[in-house]
Structure formats: C-alpha cells, structure tokens
C-alpha cells in the first residue's frame, strides 16, 4: 500500500524522523488555518500518489494568507495525470542548502536490505543511477544484524555528505531504517533529504510503501486504508477479501493462484480475447469467496463472458462448484460462465455442477478449450 506524502511524513514522525511542521487541509479555509498556525512562508502541496506534482502546478510557495487562498483554491480539484486533488499538505517552507537522497528497500537477489544514499538528491534516483552511478553509496544490510550507528556514520562519510550534515544524517538514517523494518515498509524513501543553511537535516518529502502482509501487527494502518482511492470494482473486491485488478477487456477472469490467473490472461489474449480483470481467489477459497468473486465480476458492465479457471491444490474444486451455484441462486449473472476445473476434489466438483449445466453454464476439459469458448461467447 502506497502512502500519500502527508501520511508518509506522519509515519516518519512516529519514528522520530524530523519533517517540516505542517498539517493536512481539505478546504481553502483549512489550508489558511494550517498556514497561520505553522507560520509563513508555507508550501502548499497536492496530495496525490503520482510523480510530477510540481510540473503540473500542484506545489506552490505562499508568502501570505492571500497566496495560500489563491494556491489552495487552484490546487484543490486539480487533475494531475488522472488523479484529482482532494487533500493538501501545508508545511512551513524550508531554506535549502543541499539536497540529498536516502532510501531503504529489499534487495531481492541478495536477500538482504539495501540502503541507498546520495549527496545528489532532489532528482529521480533512477536518473542518478543511470548518469552518475558513483554518486550513490549502496549499503547492504543483513536483516538479522540491522543498521548500527557506527555503520551509518561510515556510510554518510562514504556518500560524501557535507561535513556539517553527517552526524545528524547518520542518526536520521538509523531512525529511517527502524521505520523501514519495525514499520514494515517495502520502501522508505526521502527525496530530498535536506540540509538547511542553519545546519539542520530533515526530510522534505516522504515516499512510503507498506507491506500489507504485516497489517495484522499494525492496527494504525486502518486510517491509511480508508483514504485509498480505488476503482469501484477493486474496492468491492477488496471488501470481499479478493485479489482483483481491473482491466479493459470483455472477459471476466476468475482463477485460483496468481500465476494461474496471470496465465489465464495470457491464454485469453493468445486466442483473440481480452480480459476485463485479474482476479485471484487465493488459496483455500471456499464457496462464499467463489460466490463473491462472481458477484464482483457481474458488477462490471463490460463483461460479456466469464472464464472460471480452477486448478485445485489447497483450494477444493467442490467448494468452488458450490460457490458457483450459490452465486447463481443469489444474483442473476449477466454473462455466460465457462469453467475449467481440475485438481483437488475435481471429480466431486464436476459432479455438483453436472445437473446444472446449460448454454449459460459450460465446462470445458482444458484451459485452452475454455479460453476459446469464452472468447467465442464474448464475441457472439
């Protein structure tokens, strides 16, 4: 789950990482109130989960109340690459002496954590990596040992941060690592991390991605979930505990397992169709989950055929079959359903469906056959 900048900054604050004083505002009046509280000049920043806010006019400096009114009014409702601005972050403007870059993420090939630190911040790190890779100090961190202050001090030295910034930066990086690990982040990034003319180091931006698998130990994440802007189909699916991604095609896809779901998309595409979604009902799905999946697909008006592709492992095909019947009993499914059922308890599952098969509920023996049938029904 990606956080908005303001959420990232609030998350940083929990771990003692210095950020500019500021607050959120959903209206022009709130923006003025925050600005009066934190003191001028302020920066008015659009809260959208997309890059390039500054260029799109979503970040403005305001020296007084009139300028806050003007900029807040202009930015609220602004469309930035399809993301409409509903919320602002107002913070005290900082004088900048230097801009650095710092981040922690998982180094998958090496199965360790990776710290990246650069004295050249404020630009995209991918660009720095491409044009001047020597400007990034990489640090591989053993997840068992973690990051201690001595290592952090060596690291800021190696990255050639300004002398005056080094001790503060070293301390801040240990806190950022703590945020990254104890806070269960997939990514914790500060760009830019700034040095002010009076010698203070703090985070001017915050990019945080949380690992949703860890939500069981983070009840405080609930408020972040509430602000997630989603495709209405995706929202409905999430409420039902399904793993759904909306696409633009006409064939509704339900499969068990992410790999099989992806493969189903591929195969539908290869036989001339296009998928309306990716939907993985997960491992061990029961009849309720299957029925919910069909209902989510059914809510998409573009769907003209549904392809249910199940290879039971931990998921039992008889449960899937029961779910299909349950959904058919509960709501009117608008599109014909083609099923391919194999694996755990497939014989029982097929037997459950057998008496109900007709031209709107069809089984096919293989994945390719089922894909072809679904495509021909969708195009009929």
Partner 1 sequence: MSIFVDENTKVIVQGLTGGQGKFHGLRNRDYGTKIVGGVTPGKGGTDVDGIPVFNSVKEAVQATGATASFVVVPPKFASAAILEAAEGGVTFIVCITEGIPAHDEAVTYNRLVEDYPNVRLLGPNCPGIISPGKCNIGITSGDIALPGGPVGIVSRSGTLTYQALYELTQHGIGQTTCVGIGGDPVPGTNFIDCLAAFEADPETKAVMMIGEIGGSEEERAAEWIKLNMTKPVVSYIAGVTAPPGRKMGHAGAIISGSKGTAQAKMDALAEAGVHVCLNPTEAGLKMVEIVQAL
Torsion angles phi and psi, residue 203, rounded to 5 = -85, 125
Encoded one letter per residue, x for contact with partner 1 by CB under 8 A and - for no contact, window 192-211 reads -------------------x
From 22-30, 152-160, 190-198, 306-314, give the range in contact with partner 1 by CB under 8 A. 306-314
Quick check: is 101 catalytic?
Answer: yes
Residues 236-255 that bind partner 1 (CB under 8 A): 243, 245, 247, 255
Residues in the interface with partner 1 (CB under 8 A) total 51
Q: Does 214 bind partner 1 (CB under 8 A)?
A: yes
Structural contact between residues 340 and 253, judged by C-beta atoms closer than 8 angstroms: no
Q: Does 111 bind partner 1 (CB under 8 A)?
A: yes
| 275 DSSP 8-state letter | B
Q: Does 130 bind partner 1 (CB under 8 A)?
A: no
Cβ of residue 344: shortest distance to partner 1, in angstroms? 5
Residues 337-356 that bind partner 1 (CB under 8 A): 342-344
Encoded one letter per residue, x for contact with partner 1 by CB under 8 A and - for no contact, window 31-70 reads ----------------------------------------
Please say which residue, 192 or 249, places its beta carbon nearer to partner 1: 249
Q: How far apart are CA 211 and CA 185, in angstroms?
A: 6
Please say which residue, 72 or 370, places its beta carbon nearer to partner 1: 370
Quick check: is 224 catalytic?
Answer: no
Q: Does 374 bind partner 1 (CB under 8 A)?
A: no
Among 82, 217, 219, 329, binds partner 1 (CB under 8 A): 217
Q: Which residues contact 278 (CB under 8 A, 6 or more apart)?
A: 243, 244, 245, 247, 253, 261, 262, 265
Q: How far apart are CA 100 and CA 374, in angstroms?
A: 53
Among 55, 134, 144, 358, binds partner 1 (CB under 8 A): 144
Q: Is 359 exposed, middle or buried (0-12, 13-18, 19+ CB in 10 A)?
A: exposed
Among 61, 354, 357, 368, binds partner 1 (CB under 8 A): 368
Among 55, 82, 126, 163, binds partner 1 (CB under 8 A): 126
Going by C-alpha positions, the residue among 320, 256, 311 that lies closest to residue 287 is 320
Site residues (vs partner 1, CB under 8 A): 106, 108-109, 111-113, 126, 142-144, 181, 184, 186, 211, 213-214, 216-217, 243, 245, 247, 255-263, 265-267, 269-270, 275, 278, 280, 282-284, 311-314, 342-344, 366-368
């Amino acid at each position: 789950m990606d956080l908005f900048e303001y959420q990232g900054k609030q998350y940083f604050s929990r771990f003692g990482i210095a950020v500019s004083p500021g607050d959120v505002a959903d209206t022009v009046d709130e923006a003025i109130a925050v600005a009066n509280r934190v003191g001028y000049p302020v920066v008015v920043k659009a809260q959208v989960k997309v890059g390039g806010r500054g260029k799109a006019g979503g970040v403005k400096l305001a020296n007084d109340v009139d300028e806050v009114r003007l900029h807040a009014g202009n930015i609220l409702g602004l469309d930035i690459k399809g993301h409409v601005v509903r919320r602002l972050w107002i913070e005290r403007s900082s004088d900048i002496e230097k801009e650095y870059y710092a981040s922690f993420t998982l180094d998958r090939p090496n199965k360790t954590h990776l710290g990246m630190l650069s004295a050249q911040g404020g630009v995209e790190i991918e660009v720095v990596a491409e044009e001047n890779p020597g400007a990034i100090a990489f640090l591989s961190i053993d997840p068992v040992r973690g990051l201690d202050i001595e290592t952090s001090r060596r690291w800021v030295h190696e990255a050639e941060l300004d002398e005056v910034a080094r001790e503060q930066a070293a301390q801040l990086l240990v806190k950022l690592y703590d945020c990254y690990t104890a806070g269960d982040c997939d990514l914790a990034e500060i760009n830019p991390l700034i040095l002010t003319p009076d010698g203070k180091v703090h985070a001017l931006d915050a990019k945080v991605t949380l690992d949703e698998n860890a939500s069981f130990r983070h009840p405080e994440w609930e408020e972040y979930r509430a602000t997630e802007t989603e495709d209405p189909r995706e929202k409905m699916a999430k409420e039902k505990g399904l793993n759904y991604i909306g696409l633009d095609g006409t064939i509704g896809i339900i499969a068990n397992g992410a790999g099989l779901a992806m493969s189903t998309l591929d195969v539908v595409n290869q036989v001339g169709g296009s998928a309306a979604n990716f939907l993985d009902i997960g491992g061990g799905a029961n009849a309720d989950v299957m029925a919910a999946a069909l209902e989510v697909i059914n809510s998409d008006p573009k769907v003209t055929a549904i392809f249910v592709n199940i290879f039971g492992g931990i998921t039992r095909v008889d449960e899937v079959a029961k779910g299909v019947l349950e959904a058919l009993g509960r709501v009117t499914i608008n599109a014909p359903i083609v099923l391919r059922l194999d694996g755990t308890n497939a014989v029982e599952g097929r037997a459950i469906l057998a008496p109900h098969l007709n031209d709107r509920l069809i089984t096919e023996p293989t994945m390719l056959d089922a894909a072809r049938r679904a495509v021909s029904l969708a195009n009929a």
